[in-house]
A and B are shown apart, each in its own frame.
Chain A
Amino acid sequence: MLENLFTNIAGLLRNLLDSAGVPPLWNDVTLLVVKLVAILVFILINALWLVLMERKVAGYMQARIGPNRVGPWGLLQTTCDIGKLISKEIPIPKSADKILFLLAPALVFVPPLMIFAAIPFGKDMVALDLNIGLFYVFALASLTTIIFWMGGWGSNNKYSLLGSMRVVAQMVSYELPMILSVLGVIMLVGSMNLTEIIAAQQNMWFIVTQPIAFLIFFIAAVAECNRTPFDLVEGESEIINGPYTEYGGMGFAMFFLAEYASIMIISAMATTIFLGGWLAPFGLTFIPSWLWFFLKMYVLIFVVMWFRWTFPRIRVDQLMGFGWKILVPLSLANVFVTGIGMYIYRAIGW
């Protein structure tokens, strides 16, 4: 029953609209809007909860407790923080490009939302089942670069500018190994449809057949969402807060929450591509598929947080060197080896 909880709700809604005499086209549109709104609410609430989770994880790793005053176990802490930030003024620097400056935080949630529309959360639980899903996801993920650049440029601050230069450099050089690493998986599946990729992992997760690809993907993905050890974009001990230096109030909060949304995205993508998505391991199907998806996603999110509270920050030139000299050749080699493996596989005729 739990397994089909969300699909049943969707079905119910569809029947309800049908019986009310709504034409099929409008029916579809309404349903899609409902799904997208549900995803938006999910992302926002999840981002809030992730901020708390991060603070708790950090607390326990640093021999302290973390927030525990607001609500039980500090559960309402971030809610209150956001409440405070909403009520604050958004200061706009005099020399800033006002349009860009204000547009950037407003747009920063668009790419995550659009990406999540294509990710299958559970069995038959995908808002948009695209046959070029993977391509779509990567295309949108790199869109964030422009938004950070907008914010950094619009602030008219040298620190912001340096930060946004770093964003662009970092994202361009890590996009490449990320996509190349996934190429191996695409070759194995023969499709870019996310649902089909998950279906191909019925017997064996791709993390087993493509371990190098998973490592490259995960490292590049952590770099993509600007998290430690690749958090040079913010690098608070060097360039203060990078592109967000001039932002205050809700403008800052949007960027802040967007960071958690992007952690969710990379974890969700890694889950989908390498960890079998919503597929239950070891035949443990009594746990609903969407719960499996979240479980795997949260394990990865925890790993990302673990990174942050363990590692120092890498330097700009080291980051570039690592991306171009190690990750890119390695992912190319992975594609090559996968190709040979597939050829041998076929030649043997298994």
Chain B
Amino acid sequence: MLRTETYTMNFGPQHPATHGVFQVVLTLDGEKIVKAEPVCGYLHRGIEKLAESRTYQQVIPYTDRMDYLASMLQNWGYVMAVEKLMGLEVPERAEYLRVISGELSRLASHVLATGVYALDVGGFTGFLLCFRERERMMDLLEELTGSRMTFSYARFGGVADDAPEGWLEKLDKLMDDMPGYIDEYDGLITGNEIFQARTKQVGGLSPETAIDYSLSGPVLRGSGINYDLRKAKPYSIYDRFDFEVPVGKNGDCFDRYFCRVREMRQSVRIIKQAIEQIKEIDGPIKGKVPKALKPPKGDAYAEIESSKGILGFYVVSDGTNKPHRVHVRRPSFINLGYLDEMSRGWLIADLVAILGSIDIVLGEVDC
């Protein structure tokens, strides 16, 4: 019998497949993973500490920098927590604009996740194909907010600005084209024999474990748990739209990936309905909010369904114009917590597939 030894390998922080500066210290037996210890914090900027010395309004741009792929949703989560703290009312038209921009941001994030996943598994064309549509979404978001990634669109009690002339029509056109594009992804990526061989039955996650480890978003739903805050606890105006929550069956990488693809179709449905309904609504896009914002003493926790999972903001006010404490429940961070157990016994190539299927953004993991 040959004597074999395990060895450690640094997977990152400079590695093409870690989606940013992230390190996994692998203990390997040949190519098989014995232990995978995630090491994060390379991108930690201390946003929670920074927020404590900024006024409430000044914190909004910081939230952009967390999940920079769906920053619209991050803005939304933060302003929702402060609105809950102050008991602010949001005008109807502003809610619609938030839903439309938020879903568009979710769509952009999911499109990128789909493309990047194709790249992780080795198909380069899927990656660039997804950028084609993302470009159109980015153009639309830029027209709405003036920025391509760091939107800072949400304001306390409303949004920054109304949609420009003809914007909703352009968005409607994109939403008409979108199902065709998603069919293309299904043809090139989802339906591919090799892709399925690489992702099905890999990195399985039982529903009990997914709940126990506080996993959320497509990772949780891929394991068959129907838990989407938009349906479970309809915030904003999500109770007015007709949409479904896609869930997976086996909880493997493929299910997590495919949940995302099907969620894109639902986002398109929501945006289509919102565009129909917003035409009827004319009104202010910003509620009555005092210039110097001083929420009453107390704390509030608000959560929304971000593209990566449950995004929660815990804000404590001490009655001054600066928050006493801001904590962000980052879905990427908590979803990553189960990576070690999930990847044990799989090969290095599977680690990449598993990591990609969790869909992390390091800006959010490290905060």
Chain A residues contacting B347 (CB-CB under 8 Å) are 315-317
Give min CB distance, A163 to chain B, whole Å: 11
How many A-B Cβ pairs are below 8 Å? 79
Stretch at the interface among B75-83, B114-122, B233-241, B334-342: B114-122
Return B295 CB to nearest CB of chain A, in Å: 46
Q: Name B93-133 residues within 8 Å CB distance of A.
A: 118-126, 128-129, 132
Contact residue range for chain A? 20 to 34
Report 13 cross-chain contacts, Cβ distance below 8 Å, ordered by A residue: A58-B124, A61-B125, A63-B128, A162-B31, A238-B17, A238-B348, A310-B125, A310-B192, A312-B123, A312-B126, A313-B122, A314-B197, A315-B347
- Any chain A CB within 8 A of the CB of B303? no
Quick check: B125 and A237 within 8 Å, CB to CB? no
Residue of A nearest to B351 (CB): A238
List residues of chain B with CB under 8 Å of any chain A CB. Answer: 7, 9, 15-17, 31, 118-126, 128-129, 132, 188-189, 192, 194-195, 197-198, 347-350, 352
Q: State the Cβ distance, B140 to closest chain A Cβ, in Å.
A: 19
- The residue in chain B whose Cβ has the minimal distance to the Cβ of A317 is B347
Q: Smallest distance from the beta carbon of B351 to chain A beta carbons, Å? A: 8
Shortest A232–chain B CB gap in Å is 7
Choose among A158, A310, A314, A318 the residue that contacts B7 (Cβ–Cβ < 8 A).
A158
B120 close to A62 (CB less than 8 A): no
Q: Which residues of A contact B125 (CB under 8 A)?
A: 58, 61-62, 309-310
Residue ID in chain A nearest B126 by CB atoms: A312
Are B349's CB and A232's CB within 8 A? Answer: yes
Q: What is the CB-to-nearest-CB distance from A325 to chain B, in angstroms, rounded to a whole number?
A: 14
Instruction: Please pick, from A61, A64, A159, A231, the residue contacting B122 in the complex, using a CB distance under 8 A.
Output: A231
Contacts of A58 in B (CB 8 A): 124-125
A: which residues have CB within 8 A of B? 58, 61-64, 158-159, 162, 228-229, 231-232, 235-240, 308-318
Residues of A near B195 (CB, < 8 A) are 312
With A and B bound together, what is the CA distance between A63 and B350 in angstroms? 29
**Interchain nearest-CB distance for A219 vs B (Å):** 13
A137 to B272, CA, bound (A): 61
Partner of B197 from A237, A238, A309, A315 at Cβ < 8 Å: A315
Shortest Cβ-Cβ A-B pairs, 4 listed: A313-B122, A312-B123, A62-B128, A237-B17
Residue of B nearest to A309 (CB): B125
Question: Is there an interface contact between B128 and A64, defined as CB atoms closer than 8 Å?
Answer: yes
CB-based contact B129/A313 at 8 Å: no
Complex Cα–Cα for A125 and B125 (A): 39
A62 lies within 8 A of B129 (CB)? yes
When chains A and B are docked, how far (Å) is the Cα of A287 from the Cα of B348? Answer: 51
B124 touches A239 (CB 8 A): no
Q: Which residues of B contact A317 (CB under 8 A)?
A: 347
Question: Are A237 and B120 within 8 A (Cβ)?
Answer: yes
B350 and A311: CB pair below 8 A? no
Considering the chains assembled together, what is the distance between the CA atoms of A237 and B192 in angstroms? 18
CA distance A308 to B123 in the complex (A): 8
Chain B minimum-CB-distance residue to A231: B122
Known: A228-B122, A310-B125. A315 touches B349 (CB 8 A): yes
Known: A162-B31, A238-B17. A312 touches B129 (CB 8 A): no
Which B residues are CB-close (under 8 A) to A62?
A: 124-125, 128-129
Taking the closest CB of chain A, its distance from the CB of B127, in whole angstroms, is 8
> A312 near B16 (CB under 8 angstroms)?
no
Q: How far is B245's CA from A334's CA once the two chains are assembled, in angstroms?
A: 50
List chain B residues, Cβ under 8 A from A235.
Answer: 122, 349
A312 touches B31 (CB 8 A): no
Min CB distance A130 to B, Å, is 38
| Contact (Cβ within 8 A) B194 A238 | no
Contacts beyond the supplied A308-B124, A318-B198: 17 A-B pairs with Cβ under 8 Å: A62-B129, A162-B31, A237-B121, A237-B122, A238-B352, A240-B15, A240-B16, A309-B125, A310-B125, A311-B192, A312-B121, A312-B122, A312-B123, A312-B189, A312-B194, A316-B349, A318-B197
Chain B residues with Cβ below 8 Å from A236 are 16
- Min CB distance A59 to B, Å, is 9
Q: Given A228-B122, A237-B16, decide whether A316 and B128 contact each other with a Cβ distance below 8 A.
A: no
Nearest CB of B to A326, in Å: 13
Tell whether A158 pairs with B194 under 8 Å between CB atoms, given A61-B125, A231-B122, A237-B16. no
